[in-house]
Chains A and B, each alone.
Chain A
Amino acid sequence: MPFFEAFLLAIQTIRAQKLKSGFSLLGVFIGVASLIGAWSIVNGVNRYMTEKFAQTIFGVNTFQLRRRPVFTPNVPDSVWRAWQRRPRIRFSDAEAINEGLTVPVVTAWQSSEHVTVSYNNKEARDIELTAASERYFDIKNLKIAAGRPFTAEENRSGAPIVVLGDAVAKRLFVDRSPLGRNVRIGGVPYRVVGVVERQGSILGFPLDRFVVVPALSPAQNLVNPPGILDAFLVKARSDPEMREAMSQAEGIMRSRRHLRPKQDNNFVLDTSEGVQQFWAGISRILVIVLPGVVLVSLVIGGIVIMNIMLMAVAERTREIGLRKSLGARRRDVLSQFLAESTAIATVGASFGILAGIALTLAIDKLSPLPASVSPMSVVLGVIMGAGVGVVAGVYPASRAARLDPITALRQE
């Protein structure tokens, strides 16, 4: 009997025995659904990380000169203390690099602190105050929705003006235009000149709770001691130019810090690679744990199917005897039962794929986690589902194929 025909026959059997088949394909169903669901989350976060997250935090082709990296997961105390002992980045460092770089770049200063911003009797707490130079908006790709960013002249003169993040504008002004109004930061009034476009959120963290003031405005005292920067941002036109700028900046910093050739840098040139490595670490753990979960449910699914098939062989001994007496060869019986277990598993896997996709869409819509279905996981789900069916079917099917037709026919 051709395998395809046996497969159709098996589908009929499954439809005839819905409840029993439903239980028997549950294991594979869960296995494949969890495979696709989990894979899709990893996949979605992965894409988010590489395409959006890293660029939101760093900007394209951008590096930051800092005392220590932005992302510092699982750092031992000793390393942390060593970082804390490093000299800070100074205005003069930034100016030296700006003058020393031969690669065309855009640069900005940046220092941040969390503060409360108020307007009349309204307050927005826990707002990230960033004291930055005028090109900060370009580097971070922050588009101005209303008003304007501040100018180089305003930055140099330390004008008390501010650009609001979307959430801050909404919180303090609701529907009115904030432009031209004075908000208070650390007791000092700042005139609002612009509002940044809504940025949304990232992994559940809101991105619109910030204000930006000129680096030399009075607020510089709120973020850092005089003459000190958190980070010096350098954006190049391309990745190779960024690499070149990084190596030049490294040379300039090492000579300013008087480091001998064998001494390590006491600063970092941080790029989005750092974040991506951090994420790659997490996703590697997921990639190790995930197959475990999937494997367990598929193994259970396989055992269930094998048991169901053994029962089916026992129940249908007479049928097997009959088929053999009508001319079925061993391989016909074998392929019939293999097809049946494969069909059960494949149907389970199909429902699992649908459930996995539904789960993915639900997660994407209802949770902060971005998830997108990976076509690879669907392909793998089908292959693994069918594979489980074949593996689980081999033993029962070979038992059926080996049955002696006379004994089988005599069975009640």
Chain B
Amino acid sequence: MSTIQLFRTGDTPRPDVIILAHKLTREYDMGSELVRALRGVSVQIQKNEYVAVMGPSGSGKSTLMNLIGCLDTPTSGEYWLNGQKVSDLADDELARIRNKEIGFVFQTFNLLPRADALHNVELPLIYAGLSTRNRRNRAAQALERVGLGDRMDHRPNELSGGQRQRVAIARALVNEPSILLADEPTGNLDSTTSSEIMDVFAELHRQGQTVVMVTHEHDIAAHAARVITLRDGVVATDQARAA
């Protein structure tokens, strides 16, 4: 972590680098004006890092999050995810990458209200094309991993906020993704539940999971080993914390 390898256009990243962003820019054409949300962001994140991305609103952290999550493509620059250059992939290929490599955890949980916990966790596996039995087994394992083995047939409205977010985390983990990408994961939770969820992230990180978390709360970011701060579309600070 201490020695960040210099990356030049045309290089391939080292195998232990999970995320490599090289001079990423993202511009939005808003009709009358051109909004430059990212103005050249270069970041490398290695396997099993726990990184928090911070920054005030308008700093470009959501845009960066969308690019890292393969929900969007950059205007220029390169983005490598787990050894694969994804910055110039087409829609359907991006969908496949999202399915295999990324586990999303959202602020608002985004669970399907009419489906039980098990089916919610199953969703990514449906798009991965797994058989029903296989899906059930893996979804059940993922729910057990987040401590909800006894809540599989509960619907979201029968679960507490913390439990819902655990279901969402189980859903993010079920495909064994390269990175767990959390967007304000505690934004809708009270402080007790928040720390519970942060414990889950810490445990997953301890087990070897790479975690990238976007937040604007300092005490949440404090759980991460490394904090990247964005300001005006560029990286302002990038520092490792003493654990």
What residues make up the interface of A, taking CB atoms closer than 8 Å to B?
Answer: 1, 5, 12-13, 16, 318-319, 321-332, 405-406, 409
Contact B66 A322 (CB under 8 A): no
Mark B79-102 against chain A: 1 for CB-CB distance below 8 A, else 0.
000000000000110011011100
A12→B116 CA distance, assembly (Å) = 13
Contact A319 B104 (CB under 8 A): no
A327→B123 CA distance, assembly (Å) = 9
Contact B95 A328 (CB under 8 A): yes
Total chain B interface residues with beta-carbon distance under 8 A: 23
Contact A318 B95 (CB under 8 A): no
Please give, as numbers and ranges, the residues of chain B lying within 8 Å of A12 by CB-CB distance.
Answer: 114
Contact A325 B114 (CB under 8 A): no
Contacts A1-B126, A323-B123 given; does A329 touch B171 at CB 8 Å: no
- Nearest residue (CB) in B for A12 is B114
Contact B104 A325 (CB under 8 A): yes
Closest 3 CB pairs of A and B: A327-B99, A327-B127, A329-B95
14 pairs from A and B in contact (CB 8 Å cutoff): A12-B114, A319-B112, A324-B95, A327-B99, A327-B100, A327-B124, A327-B127, A327-B128, A328-B95, A329-B92, A330-B92, A332-B127, A405-B71, A406-B66
A1→B66 CA distance, assembly (Å) = 24
What residues make up the interface of B, taking CB atoms closer than 8 Å to A?
Answer: 66, 69, 71-72, 91-92, 95-96, 98-100, 104, 106, 110, 112, 114, 123-124, 126-128, 171, 175
- Nearest residue (CB) in B for A16 is B114
Please give, as numbers and ranges, the residues of chain A lying within 8 Å of B95 by CB-CB distance.
Answer: 324, 327-330, 332
Count of A-B residue pairs with CB < 8 Å: 57
Please give, as numbers and ranges, the residues of chain B lying within 8 Å of A5 by CB-CB distance.
Answer: 126
- Nearest residue (CB) in A for B98 is A327
Contact A1 B110 (CB under 8 A): no
* Chief secondary structure at chain A's binding surface: helix
Please give, as numbers and ranges, the residues of chain B lying within 8 Å of A406 by CB-CB distance.
Answer: 66, 71-72
A332→B72 CA distance, assembly (Å) = 19
A125→B87 CA distance, assembly (Å) = 96
Contact B92 A326 (CB under 8 A): no
Q: B110: which of A13, A318, A331 is its contact (CB, 8 Å)?
A: A318
Please give, as numbers and ranges, the residues of chain B lying within 8 Å of A327 by CB-CB distance.
Answer: 95-96, 98-100, 124, 127-128, 175
Please give, as numbers and ranges, the residues of chain B lying within 8 Å of A325 by CB-CB distance.
Answer: 69, 71, 98, 104
Please give, as numbers and ranges, the residues of chain A lying within 8 Å of B99 by CB-CB distance.
Answer: 326-327
Residue from B100, B114, B126 whose CB has the most chain A CB atoms within 10 Å = B126
B134 vs chain A, min Cβ distance (A) = 14
Please give, as numbers and ranges, the residues of chain B lying within 8 Å of A321 by CB-CB distance.
Answer: 110
A1→B112 CA distance, assembly (Å) = 16
B139 vs chain A, min Cβ distance (A) = 13
B165 vs chain A, min Cβ distance (A) = 14
Contacts A319-B112, A409-B110 given; does A326 touch B124 at CB 8 Å: yes
A211 vs chain B, min Cβ distance (A) = 73
Please give, as numbers and ranges, the residues of chain A lying within 8 Å of B126 by CB-CB distance.
Answer: 1, 5
Please give, as numbers and ranges, the residues of chain A lying within 8 Å of B72 by CB-CB distance.
Answer: 406
A313 vs chain B, min Cβ distance (A) = 15
B130 vs chain A, min Cβ distance (A) = 11
Please give, as numbers and ranges, the residues of chain B lying within 8 Å of A1 by CB-CB distance.
Answer: 126-127
A13→B128 CA distance, assembly (Å) = 23
Contact A409 B91 (CB under 8 A): no
A328→B95 CA distance, assembly (Å) = 6
Please give, as numbers and ranges, the residues of chain A lying within 8 Å of B112 by CB-CB distance.
Answer: 319, 322
Please give, as numbers and ranges, the residues of chain A lying within 8 Å of B96 by CB-CB distance.
Answer: 327, 329
Please give, as numbers and ranges, the residues of chain A lying within 8 Å of B104 by CB-CB distance.
Answer: 325-326
Contact A329 B91 (CB under 8 A): yes
A186→B96 CA distance, assembly (Å) = 96
Contact B123 A326 (CB under 8 A): yes
A324→B123 CA distance, assembly (Å) = 11
Please give, as numbers and ranges, the residues of chain B lying within 8 Å of A331 by CB-CB distance.
Answer: 92
Known contacts A321-B110, A325-B69, A326-B123; can you find 19 more A-B pairs with CB under 8 A? A1-B126, A1-B127, A5-B126, A12-B114, A13-B114, A324-B98, A325-B71, A326-B99, A326-B104, A326-B124, A326-B171, A327-B95, A327-B127, A327-B128, A327-B175, A328-B127, A329-B96, A405-B71, A406-B66
- Nearest residue (CB) in B for A319 is B112
